[in-house]
Amino acid sequence: MSTTTTNMVLSDRLWDADGSVLWIKRAILLVAGIAALAISAKIQFMTVPVPVTLQMLVVMVIGAAYGPKLGAATVASYLALGAQGLPVFAGAVAGPAYLFGPTGGYLLGFFIAAYAVGRLAAAGWDRLPVRMAAAMAVGILCVYIPGVIWLSSGAALFGGSFSAMVSGFVGDEAFAGYGWANWYAYGVKTFIWVDAIKLVVAVIAFPAIWKLVGNARG
């Protein structure tokens, strides 16, 4: 087997591989993960005040299903492609400037969350709904903490141009002058309940799939 039963994640259980086949498997999963992230960024629904995408759910699923290393590598590859100008992000533009825009902190958080959730899944947290819910909560924190920190500090670092982008991001021209309460209101409260509802899918699905395919750890 390519992994031991003490660090097996769902992709290992569903597709065991060794040697050169293992590298082929990883390449296929990485490409599939990048494609899923790009597609989920373009699927937008609800406006509160900006569109909400499925990316949070996809990031968490990739982390839990792939494990920490491949999960983080997949998200990092996705971000690298976007930085090169490929249209994989939620906005109409890409390139390095997008990574330094209002959503830059959340994008960094995606990478951190994929790794953290992958580590927890490898430790068996994806086997039971309660533990999976806790893993999703950790993942959410990994996304929102750098996201809000970036929103709150970007204006000081980059000046008026960043403030203007933030105002457009939250749909409020006066936003740049607000304090921490409104950073939370616009950067977290606006989205987190929607993300929590989406992540219920993973909380239910992963333990159910493990029960179906058999718990390899015993």
Kindly report, residue by residue over 163-216, the tens digit of the pLDDT. Answer: 555 555 555 544 445 556 666 666 677 778 888 888 999 999 999 999 998 754
pLDDT reading at 5 higher than 50:
yes
Amino acid identity, position 138: V
Confidence (pTM):
0.84
Instruction: State how far the Cα of 61 lies from the Cα of 206, in Å rounded to an integer.
Output: 9
For the chain, the first-to-last Cα distance in angstroms comes to: 16
**Are the CB atoms for 118 and 72 separated by under 8 Å?**
yes
Q: Which two tokens stand for residue 43?
A: 């699927």
Greatest Cα pair distance, the chain, in angstroms, is 57
Instruction: State how far the Cα of 188 lies from the Cα of 214, in Å rounded to an integer.
Output: 37
Burial class (CB in 10 A: 0-12, 13-18, 19+), 117: buried
Instruction: State how far the Cα of 146 lies from the Cα of 45, in Å rounded to an integer.
Output: 24
- Domains with residue ranges and CATH for the chain: 10-213 (1.10.1760.20)
State the residue for tokens 């996201």.
147
Instruction: State how far the Cα of 16 lies from the Cα of 26, in Å rounded to an integer.
Output: 11
pLDDT reading at 104 higher than 80:
yes
The rounded radius of gyration (Å) of the Cα atoms in the chain is 18
Q: What is the mean pLDDT of the chain?
A: 83
Q: How confident is the model at residue 154, as a pLDDT?
A: 63
